Structure 1
Amino acid sequence: MEPASETPTALLLIDIQKGFEHPTHWGTSRSTPSLETNVASLLSAARSYNESASQPILIIHVHHHSTSPSSLLHPSARLPGTETSAIEAADFAAPTGTEPVLTKNVNSSFIGTDLEARLRGFGAGQLVVAGLTTDHCVSTTVRMAANLHVLGDAPDGEGIFMVKDATATYSKGGFDAETVHAVHLASLDGEFAQVVSTDDILGRVFR
Protein backbone atom coordinates (compact mmCIF):
# COMPACT_ATOMS: atom_id res chain seq x y z
CA MET A 1 0.00 0.00 0.00
CA GLU A 2 1.59 3.21 -1.23
CA PRO A 3 0.63 6.90 -1.17
CA ALA A 4 -1.26 7.95 -4.29
CA SER A 5 1.53 10.44 -4.94
CA GLU A 6 3.90 7.50 -5.52
CA THR A 7 1.66 4.97 -7.29
CA PRO A 8 -1.17 5.82 -9.74
CA THR A 9 -4.34 5.03 -7.81
CA ALA A 10 -7.97 4.56 -8.84
CA LEU A 11 -11.06 4.68 -6.62
CA LEU A 12 -13.88 2.49 -7.93
CA LEU A 13 -17.36 2.99 -6.46
CA ILE A 14 -19.76 0.21 -7.42
CA ASP A 15 -23.57 0.45 -7.54
CA ILE A 16 -24.00 3.08 -4.84
CA GLN A 17 -27.52 3.87 -5.99
CA LYS A 18 -30.80 4.92 -4.42
CA GLY A 19 -32.46 1.59 -5.17
CA PHE A 20 -30.38 0.03 -2.42
CA GLU A 21 -31.97 2.34 0.14
CA HIS A 22 -35.19 0.28 0.15
CA PRO A 23 -35.53 -1.23 3.66
CA THR A 24 -36.70 -4.73 2.67
CA HIS A 25 -36.33 -5.32 -1.08
CA TRP A 26 -32.83 -6.80 -0.84
CA GLY A 27 -33.08 -8.50 2.54
CA THR A 28 -34.31 -8.00 6.08
CA SER A 29 -31.10 -6.28 7.18
CA ARG A 30 -27.95 -4.70 5.75
CA SER A 31 -24.40 -4.98 6.99
CA THR A 32 -21.94 -2.16 7.57
CA PRO A 33 -23.89 0.68 9.24
CA SER A 34 -20.93 2.99 8.55
CA LEU A 35 -21.08 2.49 4.77
CA GLU A 36 -22.51 5.92 3.97
CA THR A 37 -20.10 7.80 6.21
CA ASN A 38 -17.07 5.89 5.00
CA VAL A 39 -17.87 6.12 1.29
CA ALA A 40 -18.42 9.86 1.70
CA SER A 41 -15.08 10.13 3.51
CA LEU A 42 -13.24 8.27 0.76
CA LEU A 43 -14.79 10.45 -1.94
CA SER A 44 -14.13 13.66 -0.04
CA ALA A 45 -10.51 12.73 0.63
CA ALA A 46 -9.86 11.72 -2.99
CA ARG A 47 -11.41 14.93 -4.28
CA SER A 48 -9.47 17.06 -1.83
CA TYR A 49 -6.26 15.28 -2.77
CA ASN A 50 -6.93 15.91 -6.46
CA GLU A 51 -7.25 19.66 -5.98
CA SER A 52 -3.48 20.03 -5.75
CA ALA A 53 -2.06 16.69 -6.86
CA SER A 54 0.28 16.39 -9.81
CA GLN A 55 -0.81 12.75 -10.06
CA PRO A 56 -4.56 12.72 -9.31
CA ILE A 57 -6.61 9.78 -8.09
CA LEU A 58 -8.85 8.40 -10.84
CA ILE A 59 -12.41 8.33 -9.46
CA ILE A 60 -14.82 6.05 -11.35
CA HIS A 61 -18.46 5.35 -10.54
CA VAL A 62 -20.20 2.23 -11.85
CA HIS A 63 -24.01 2.01 -11.84
CA HIS A 64 -26.16 -1.04 -12.44
CA HIS A 65 -29.02 -0.89 -14.94
CA SER A 66 -30.83 -4.20 -14.59
CA THR A 67 -32.58 -5.85 -17.52
CA SER A 68 -35.21 -7.28 -15.15
CA PRO A 69 -38.32 -5.07 -14.88
CA SER A 70 -38.90 -6.28 -11.30
CA SER A 71 -35.53 -5.02 -10.10
CA LEU A 72 -35.21 -1.78 -8.17
CA LEU A 73 -32.19 -1.12 -10.35
CA HIS A 74 -34.15 -1.31 -13.60
CA PRO A 75 -34.13 2.04 -15.45
CA SER A 76 -37.92 2.29 -15.01
CA ALA A 77 -37.82 1.72 -11.24
CA ARG A 78 -38.86 4.43 -8.80
CA LEU A 79 -38.42 4.60 -5.06
CA PRO A 80 -41.70 3.49 -3.45
CA GLY A 81 -44.20 6.32 -3.18
CA THR A 82 -42.05 8.77 -5.13
CA GLU A 83 -41.07 9.72 -8.65
CA THR A 84 -37.38 9.45 -7.74
CA SER A 85 -35.44 7.18 -10.06
CA ALA A 86 -34.02 4.25 -8.13
CA ILE A 87 -31.00 4.00 -10.42
CA GLU A 88 -29.76 7.48 -9.48
CA ALA A 89 -26.60 7.75 -7.42
CA ALA A 90 -27.14 7.83 -3.68
CA ASP A 91 -26.78 11.37 -2.42
CA PHE A 92 -23.66 10.61 -0.36
CA ALA A 93 -21.87 9.24 -3.45
CA ALA A 94 -23.15 11.51 -6.20
CA PRO A 95 -20.53 11.98 -8.94
CA THR A 96 -19.26 15.36 -9.98
CA GLY A 97 -19.38 16.45 -13.59
CA THR A 98 -15.77 15.37 -14.16
CA GLU A 99 -16.08 11.86 -12.71
CA PRO A 100 -17.04 9.16 -15.22
CA VAL A 101 -20.13 7.03 -14.59
CA LEU A 102 -20.06 3.64 -16.31
CA THR A 103 -23.24 1.61 -16.65
CA LYS A 104 -23.48 -2.17 -16.62
CA ASN A 105 -26.24 -4.77 -16.57
CA VAL A 106 -24.33 -7.76 -15.19
CA ASN A 107 -22.42 -8.33 -11.97
CA SER A 108 -18.97 -7.50 -13.29
CA SER A 109 -18.02 -3.87 -13.78
CA PHE A 110 -15.71 -5.00 -16.59
CA ILE A 111 -18.41 -6.51 -18.82
CA GLY A 112 -19.97 -4.09 -21.31
CA THR A 113 -17.92 -1.13 -20.09
CA ASP A 114 -14.53 0.39 -20.85
CA LEU A 115 -13.35 0.06 -17.25
CA GLU A 116 -10.40 -2.16 -18.11
CA ALA A 117 -9.22 0.24 -20.81
CA ARG A 118 -9.57 3.21 -18.46
CA LEU A 119 -7.50 1.55 -15.73
CA ARG A 120 -4.81 0.41 -18.15
CA GLY A 121 -4.72 3.78 -19.90
CA PHE A 122 -4.30 5.49 -16.55
CA GLY A 123 -1.51 3.10 -15.62
CA ALA A 124 -3.18 2.19 -12.35
CA GLY A 125 -0.91 0.53 -9.83
CA GLN A 126 -3.48 0.52 -7.04
CA LEU A 127 -7.25 0.02 -7.11
CA VAL A 128 -9.44 0.95 -4.14
CA VAL A 129 -12.90 -0.66 -4.30
CA ALA A 130 -16.06 0.19 -2.35
CA GLY A 131 -19.80 -0.17 -2.87
CA LEU A 132 -22.65 -2.64 -3.08
CA THR A 133 -23.04 -5.50 -2.72
CA THR A 134 -20.11 -7.34 -1.18
CA ASP A 135 -21.13 -10.79 -2.41
CA HIS A 136 -22.41 -9.87 -5.86
CA CYS A 137 -21.13 -6.99 -7.97
CA VAL A 138 -18.25 -5.96 -5.71
CA SER A 139 -16.92 -9.50 -5.35
CA THR A 140 -17.33 -10.27 -9.05
CA THR A 141 -15.56 -7.08 -10.06
CA VAL A 142 -12.68 -7.64 -7.63
CA ARG A 143 -12.19 -11.21 -8.83
CA MET A 144 -12.12 -10.11 -12.46
CA ALA A 145 -9.74 -7.25 -11.70
CA ALA A 146 -7.30 -9.77 -10.26
CA ASN A 147 -7.77 -12.31 -13.05
CA LEU A 148 -7.41 -9.67 -15.77
CA HIS A 149 -4.26 -8.27 -14.12
CA VAL A 150 -5.55 -4.75 -14.62
CA LEU A 151 -2.71 -3.46 -12.46
CA GLY A 152 -0.12 -4.88 -14.83
CA ASP A 153 2.37 -7.46 -13.61
CA ALA A 154 1.32 -7.34 -9.96
CA PRO A 155 0.55 -10.78 -8.48
CA ASP A 156 -3.14 -11.66 -8.18
CA GLY A 157 -4.78 -9.41 -5.62
CA GLU A 158 -1.75 -7.26 -4.89
CA GLY A 159 -2.62 -3.58 -5.08
CA ILE A 160 -6.38 -4.23 -5.12
CA PHE A 161 -7.82 -2.89 -1.87
CA MET A 162 -11.35 -3.88 -0.90
CA VAL A 163 -12.55 -1.48 1.78
CA LYS A 164 -14.43 -3.65 4.26
CA ASP A 165 -16.26 -0.83 6.05
CA ALA A 166 -17.20 0.92 2.79
CA THR A 167 -18.86 -2.14 1.25
CA ALA A 168 -22.06 -3.83 2.37
CA THR A 169 -24.54 -6.58 1.67
CA TYR A 170 -27.85 -7.96 2.91
CA SER A 171 -29.13 -10.95 4.85
CA LYS A 172 -29.95 -14.01 2.77
CA GLY A 173 -30.33 -17.77 2.94
CA GLY A 174 -30.94 -17.70 6.67
CA PHE A 175 -27.66 -15.89 7.33
CA ASP A 176 -27.53 -12.40 8.81
CA ALA A 177 -26.02 -9.61 6.75
CA GLU A 178 -22.81 -9.26 8.75
CA THR A 179 -22.10 -12.98 8.36
CA VAL A 180 -22.64 -12.86 4.60
CA HIS A 181 -20.39 -9.79 4.41
CA ALA A 182 -17.61 -11.30 6.53
CA VAL A 183 -17.53 -14.65 4.74
CA HIS A 184 -17.22 -13.03 1.32
CA LEU A 185 -14.49 -10.69 2.50
CA ALA A 186 -12.60 -13.67 3.89
CA SER A 187 -12.84 -15.55 0.59
CA LEU A 188 -11.34 -12.60 -1.31
CA ASP A 189 -8.63 -11.55 1.13
CA GLY A 190 -5.12 -12.54 0.19
CA GLU A 191 -5.98 -14.05 -3.18
CA PHE A 192 -8.07 -11.56 -5.12
CA ALA A 193 -7.59 -8.46 -2.98
CA GLN A 194 -6.31 -7.09 0.27
CA VAL A 195 -9.15 -6.35 2.67
CA VAL A 196 -8.53 -3.02 4.39
CA SER A 197 -10.37 -0.32 6.32
CA THR A 198 -11.34 3.21 5.39
CA ASP A 199 -8.80 4.49 7.90
CA ASP A 200 -6.07 2.48 6.16
CA ILE A 201 -6.84 4.17 2.84
CA LEU A 202 -7.24 7.64 4.30
CA GLY A 203 -4.06 7.39 6.34
CA ARG A 204 -1.77 5.64 3.88
CA VAL A 205 -3.05 6.21 0.32
CA PHE A 206 -5.20 9.34 0.05
CA ARG A 207 -2.69 11.64 1.73
Structure 2
Amino acid sequence: MSRALIVIDVQESFRARPLWAATHDPQVADRVNRLVRLARAAGDLVVWVLHTEPGSGGVFDPTSGHVRLMAELTRADGEPLIHKTSHNAFTTTNLQQVLTRHGVGELRVCGIRTEQCVETTVRVASDLGYDVTLVIDATTTDPVAHRDAPAGLSVAELLADPRTLPAAEVVRRTEYALAGRFAAIETVDRLEAAAGLPA
Protein backbone atom coordinates (compact mmCIF):
# COMPACT_ATOMS: atom_id res chain seq x y z
CA MET A 1 0.00 0.00 0.00
CA SER A 2 1.39 3.40 -0.99
CA ARG A 3 1.22 6.54 1.12
CA ALA A 4 0.56 10.18 0.25
CA LEU A 5 1.05 13.46 2.06
CA ILE A 6 -1.89 15.81 1.49
CA VAL A 7 -0.93 19.48 2.04
CA ILE A 8 -4.15 21.47 2.38
CA ASP A 9 -4.45 25.19 1.70
CA VAL A 10 -1.01 26.31 2.88
CA GLN A 11 -1.42 29.31 0.63
CA GLU A 12 -0.77 33.03 0.58
CA SER A 13 -4.51 33.75 0.73
CA PHE A 14 -4.39 33.35 4.50
CA ARG A 15 -1.46 35.71 4.97
CA ALA A 16 -3.35 38.33 2.96
CA ARG A 17 -6.06 38.50 5.64
CA PRO A 18 -5.72 40.58 8.84
CA LEU A 19 -6.77 37.52 10.87
CA TRP A 20 -3.43 35.86 10.06
CA ALA A 21 -1.96 37.94 12.90
CA ALA A 22 -3.95 35.78 15.33
CA THR A 23 -3.26 32.37 13.75
CA HIS A 24 -2.16 29.55 16.01
CA ASP A 25 1.17 28.97 14.21
CA PRO A 26 2.34 31.57 11.70
CA GLN A 27 5.40 29.38 10.96
CA VAL A 28 3.32 26.37 9.89
CA ALA A 29 5.05 26.28 6.49
CA ASP A 30 8.32 25.31 8.22
CA ARG A 31 6.79 22.11 9.64
CA VAL A 32 5.01 21.42 6.36
CA ASN A 33 8.38 21.64 4.61
CA ARG A 34 9.78 19.06 7.03
CA LEU A 35 6.87 16.74 6.26
CA VAL A 36 7.38 17.21 2.54
CA ARG A 37 11.08 16.37 2.92
CA LEU A 38 10.12 13.26 4.89
CA ALA A 39 7.55 12.21 2.29
CA ARG A 40 9.94 12.64 -0.61
CA ALA A 41 12.68 10.72 1.20
CA ALA A 42 10.24 7.83 1.71
CA GLY A 43 9.05 7.89 -1.89
CA ASP A 44 5.55 9.00 -0.88
CA LEU A 45 3.32 10.99 -3.19
CA VAL A 46 2.98 14.66 -2.22
CA VAL A 47 -0.34 16.25 -3.19
CA TRP A 48 -0.79 20.01 -2.92
CA VAL A 49 -4.31 21.40 -2.47
CA LEU A 50 -5.32 25.05 -2.82
CA HIS A 51 -8.69 26.53 -1.89
CA THR A 52 -10.36 28.75 -4.48
CA GLU A 53 -13.50 30.87 -4.53
CA PRO A 54 -13.81 32.00 -8.15
CA GLY A 55 -15.77 35.19 -8.64
CA SER A 56 -15.75 36.09 -4.94
CA GLY A 57 -13.44 39.06 -5.29
CA GLY A 58 -11.69 38.03 -2.07
CA VAL A 59 -8.27 36.59 -1.26
CA PHE A 60 -9.38 33.11 -2.37
CA ASP A 61 -10.45 34.35 -5.79
CA PRO A 62 -7.79 33.17 -8.29
CA THR A 63 -7.75 36.69 -9.79
CA SER A 64 -6.45 38.06 -6.46
CA GLY A 65 -2.99 36.59 -7.01
CA HIS A 66 -2.99 35.06 -3.52
CA VAL A 67 -4.11 31.54 -4.49
CA ARG A 68 -0.61 30.09 -4.56
CA LEU A 69 1.58 28.09 -2.22
CA MET A 70 3.22 30.03 0.59
CA ALA A 71 6.56 31.34 -0.60
CA GLU A 72 8.51 28.94 1.66
CA LEU A 73 7.06 25.89 -0.11
CA THR A 74 8.24 24.38 -3.37
CA ARG A 75 6.27 21.90 -5.43
CA ALA A 76 8.45 19.35 -7.22
CA ASP A 77 7.90 18.26 -10.80
CA GLY A 78 5.19 15.63 -11.04
CA GLU A 79 3.57 16.42 -7.69
CA PRO A 80 -0.17 16.95 -8.24
CA LEU A 81 -1.62 20.41 -7.59
CA ILE A 82 -5.37 20.36 -6.99
CA HIS A 83 -7.74 23.32 -6.69
CA LYS A 84 -10.85 22.82 -4.57
CA THR A 85 -13.98 24.88 -3.98
CA SER A 86 -15.42 22.90 -1.05
CA HIS A 87 -14.08 22.55 2.48
CA ASN A 88 -12.82 19.00 1.99
CA ALA A 89 -10.27 18.13 -0.66
CA PHE A 90 -12.36 15.36 -2.26
CA THR A 91 -15.84 16.61 -3.17
CA THR A 92 -15.03 19.12 -5.91
CA THR A 93 -11.75 17.61 -7.14
CA ASN A 94 -10.23 14.50 -8.69
CA LEU A 95 -8.17 13.77 -5.56
CA GLN A 96 -9.59 10.28 -5.07
CA GLN A 97 -8.80 9.38 -8.68
CA VAL A 98 -5.24 10.67 -8.26
CA LEU A 99 -4.78 8.58 -5.12
CA THR A 100 -6.29 5.50 -6.76
CA ARG A 101 -4.03 5.89 -9.79
CA HIS A 102 -1.00 5.87 -7.47
CA GLY A 103 -2.26 2.95 -5.39
CA VAL A 104 -2.49 5.08 -2.26
CA GLY A 105 -4.25 3.64 0.78
CA GLU A 106 -2.55 5.61 3.55
CA LEU A 107 -2.65 9.39 4.02
CA ARG A 108 -0.80 11.91 6.12
CA VAL A 109 -2.68 15.20 6.26
CA CYS A 110 -1.54 18.70 7.25
CA GLY A 111 -2.48 22.28 6.45
CA ILE A 112 -4.75 25.25 7.18
CA ARG A 113 -7.41 25.49 8.88
CA THR A 114 -7.23 22.70 11.41
CA GLU A 115 -10.94 22.43 12.23
CA GLN A 116 -12.28 23.29 8.82
CA CYS A 117 -10.65 22.11 5.59
CA VAL A 118 -8.12 19.84 7.29
CA GLU A 119 -10.59 18.15 9.63
CA THR A 120 -13.25 17.81 6.96
CA THR A 121 -10.77 16.18 4.59
CA VAL A 122 -9.65 13.77 7.33
CA ARG A 123 -13.24 12.74 8.06
CA VAL A 124 -14.10 12.20 4.40
CA ALA A 125 -10.85 10.29 3.79
CA SER A 126 -11.57 8.02 6.73
CA ASP A 127 -15.11 7.37 5.47
CA LEU A 128 -13.66 6.50 2.05
CA GLY A 129 -11.49 3.83 3.67
CA TYR A 130 -8.09 5.50 3.81
CA ASP A 131 -5.78 4.92 6.77
CA VAL A 132 -5.35 8.53 7.90
CA THR A 133 -2.77 10.24 10.09
CA LEU A 134 -3.29 13.88 11.04
CA VAL A 135 0.03 15.62 11.68
CA ILE A 136 -1.41 18.00 14.23
CA ASP A 137 1.56 20.35 14.67
CA ALA A 138 1.73 20.90 10.92
CA THR A 139 -1.69 22.55 10.99
CA THR A 140 -2.81 25.98 12.06
CA THR A 141 -6.03 27.89 12.43
CA ASP A 142 -7.55 31.11 13.71
CA PRO A 143 -9.63 31.96 16.77
CA VAL A 144 -13.30 31.18 16.21
CA ALA A 145 -15.97 33.73 17.01
CA HIS A 146 -18.99 32.74 19.06
CA ARG A 147 -22.06 31.97 16.98
CA ASP A 148 -23.83 35.06 18.38
CA ALA A 149 -20.93 37.46 17.74
CA PRO A 150 -21.72 40.20 15.24
CA ALA A 151 -20.34 39.83 11.73
CA GLY A 152 -17.36 41.88 10.65
CA LEU A 153 -15.45 41.97 13.94
CA SER A 154 -11.95 43.37 13.73
CA VAL A 155 -9.14 41.09 14.93
CA ALA A 156 -8.89 43.13 18.12
CA GLU A 157 -12.63 42.86 18.76
CA LEU A 158 -12.59 39.12 18.08
CA LEU A 159 -9.74 38.57 20.54
CA ALA A 160 -11.35 40.82 23.14
CA ASP A 161 -14.64 38.89 23.10
CA PRO A 162 -14.54 36.42 26.04
CA ARG A 163 -16.75 34.04 24.05
CA THR A 164 -14.14 33.64 21.29
CA LEU A 165 -12.56 30.19 21.16
CA PRO A 166 -8.76 30.70 21.08
CA ALA A 167 -6.90 29.15 18.15
CA ALA A 168 -4.85 26.82 20.36
CA GLU A 169 -8.07 25.48 21.87
CA VAL A 170 -9.55 24.91 18.41
CA VAL A 171 -6.53 22.79 17.50
CA ARG A 172 -6.74 20.86 20.78
CA ARG A 173 -10.44 20.12 20.37
CA THR A 174 -9.93 19.00 16.78
CA GLU A 175 -7.25 16.56 17.91
CA TYR A 176 -9.60 15.14 20.54
CA ALA A 177 -12.48 14.85 18.08
CA LEU A 178 -10.47 12.99 15.43
CA ALA A 179 -8.09 10.82 17.46
CA GLY A 180 -8.95 7.14 17.33
CA ARG A 181 -12.17 7.79 15.42
CA PHE A 182 -11.07 9.20 12.09
CA ALA A 183 -7.28 9.40 12.30
CA ALA A 184 -4.14 8.64 14.19
CA ILE A 185 -2.50 11.77 15.56
CA GLU A 186 1.20 12.40 15.03
CA THR A 187 3.76 15.20 15.23
CA VAL A 188 6.53 16.09 12.82
CA ASP A 189 9.22 15.32 15.41
CA ARG A 190 7.89 11.82 16.02
CA LEU A 191 7.57 11.04 12.33
CA GLU A 192 11.10 12.24 11.69
CA ALA A 193 12.45 10.22 14.60
CA ALA A 194 10.66 7.09 13.39
CA ALA A 195 12.20 7.58 9.95
CA GLY A 196 15.65 8.15 11.39
CA LEU A 197 15.87 11.67 10.02
CA PRO A 198 17.30 14.62 11.98
CA ALA A 199 14.80 17.30 12.98
- Where on the TM-score scale, by shorter chain, does this alignment land: which range? 0.7 to 0.9
1:114 maps to which residue?
A: 94
User: Post-superposition shift, 1:180?
Assistant: 1.2
1:32 maps to which residue?
A: 25
User: Post-superposition shift, 1:23?
Assistant: 5.4
- Work out which structure has the larger RCO, using CA pairs closer than 8 Å and 6 or more positions apart in sequence: 1
| Matched pairs, number | 179
Please list, as runs of the form range in 1=range in 2, the aligned pairs for 1:170-185 lying within 5 A after superposition.
170-173=142-145, 174-185=164-175
Does residue 157 of structure 2 align to residue 167 of structure 1? no
Letter paired with 2:168: E
Does residue 174 of structure 2 align to residue 194 of structure 1? no
User: Post-superposition shift, 1:117?
Assistant: 1.6
**Sequence identity (%):** 27
Mark the CA change 1:110 to 1:205 in structure 2 (over 3 Å): closer, same or farther.
farther
CA distance in 2, matches of 1:135, 1:176: 12
2:50 maps to which residue?
A: 63
Please list, as runs of the form range in 1=range in 2, the aligned pairs for 1:26-175 lying within 5 A after superposition.
29-47=22-40, 49=41, 56-67=43-54, 69-77=56-64, 85-149=65-129, 151=130, 159-173=131-145, 174-175=164-165
1:3 maps to which residue?
A: none
CA distance in 2, matches of 1:133, 1:145: 16
TM normalised by structure 2 equals 0.82
User: Post-superposition shift, 1:36?
Assistant: 2.1
8 Å Cα contact 1:45-1:206 kept in structure 2: no
> Any idea what the Cα deviations from partners look like across 1:138-179, whole Å, max 9, x if unmatched?
111100000111x3xxxxxxx311011100100121111111
User: Post-superposition shift, 1:45?
Assistant: 2.6
2:4 maps to which residue?
A: 10
TM normalised by structure 1 equals 0.79
User: Post-superposition shift, 1:88?
Assistant: 1.1
Mark the CA change 1:179 to 1:68 in structure 2 (over 3 Å): closer, same or farther.
farther
CA distance in 2, matches of 1:30, 1:142: 21
Letter paired with 1:130: C
8 Å Cα contact 1:69-1:76 kept in structure 2: no
CA RMSD between the two structures: 1.9
Q: Secondary structure at the match of 2:72?
A: helix
Letter paired with 2:133: F
Which ranges of structure 1 fall in alignment gaps of 5 or more residues? Answer: 1-6, 51-55, 78-84, 152-158
CA distance in 1, matches of 2:87, 2:108: 18
Mark the CA change 1:25 to 1:34 in structure 2 (over 3 Å): closer, same or farther.
closer
CA distance in 1, matches of 2:44, 2:196: 8
8 Å Cα contact 2:29-2:70 kept in structure 1: no
